[in-house]
Amino acid sequence: MYLSHFGLCEFPFTLTPNTDFFLNLKPHIEAMQVLMTALQQGEGFIKVTGEVGTGKTLICRKLLNELPDNFAVAYVPNPFLTPSELRWAVAIELGLTYEVTVDQQQLTQMLQQHLLALAAQGKSVVVILDEAQALPDESLEALRLFTNLETERRKLLQVVLFGQPELDERLASKQFRQLRQRISFSYQLRSMTVSEVGYYIEHRMRVAGHKGGTVFSSAQTKMIAKASLGVPRLVNVLSHKALLLCFGHGQFQIVDQQVRLAIADTIDAKKPIFWPLYSVVFSVVTLIALALMYWQGVLL
């Protein structure tokens, strides 16, 4: 599409979390500091929550990349698992070998012995769960029981939960009061400020290889910040659409109209009162742009 047009090596605003684009924004740095401090201290449960698209998975992957070698990690990206499935997943992630005939009681005993062996090697074990709000109630309780495994000096297992605000709502209920009391560190991710959005867009363009002049003006990044409510995922969606429109017109600097059209076409963006008209215009303009690209052989 527009990579060569803007002198880019890769797409700057993809929705896939890529730690190469990690930016030292205050909320993300604070979250990393909380995580690293808590893990180094050997605390049982650590929780990071945030709205959809605020960068939880990116921070999760950044944490996985930066944990010291003395950590053994079990990463569970999709925790919609029964307690038994969760035990199997943790065992596999920690490299535990077992026979297919092992039952749950035997597996729990084997896990405890494996954790003791790792502790004897000087390893700290951490289970990291993304999208933790999807954990069934029984699996949340199984996690709590996991953290009962300990020596006289320390826990054999730490748990990091990344989840949406629904996780906080569930943990606030009476049935999870025991687990809630074991969460020693927590952090709530916030959306980006207007100035952070501008810095974010500029940073991602630069990391993607852009070396030319300004593509997004400060006024346009403010428009994107307002429409996205500072949510990184929405900033990516709006910026990508604006670049696509700019490319379709053969331009190298985005104009305000293209940002407005991108906002109108994005479902969760905060829209001006005239957004239905812009949405129709965006669809027509996009079709024309794609037709021109095809005619020029870009899509061939």
pLDDT tens across 94-126, in order? 998 777 778 888 888 888 899 999 989 999 999
Residues 39-63: what's their mean pLDDT? 92
Give the SS3 label for residue 227. Answer: helix
CB half-sphere exposure, 251, CA atoms < 13 A: 16
What residues have CB less than 8 Å from 13, skipping those under 6 apart? 204, 235, 236, 237, 239, 240, 243
Q: What is the pLDDT of residue 284?
A: 60
Segment 83-96, tens digit of pLDDT: 989 988 999 999 98
What value does the mean pLDDT of the chain take?
88
Tens of pLDDT, residue by residue over 140-166, are 998 888 887 766 567 788 999 999 999
Number of CB atoms found within 10 A of residue 29's CB: 13
Residue 63 and residue 165: Cα distance in Å, rounded? 20
Q: What is the pLDDT of residue 277?
A: 57
Rounded Cα–Cα distance for residues 165 and 188 (Å): 9
Contact 215, 258 (CB under 8 A): no
Q: What is the largest CA-CA distance in the chain?
A: 72
Q: What is the pLDDT of residues 262-293, one digit of tens each?
A: 999 898 898 766 555 555 555 565 656 656 65
Which pLDDT score is estimated for 228? 97
- In the prediction, which pLDDT does 96 show? 87
Domains of the chain by start residue, with CATH: 3-12+192-295 (no CATH), 26-188 (3.40.50.300)
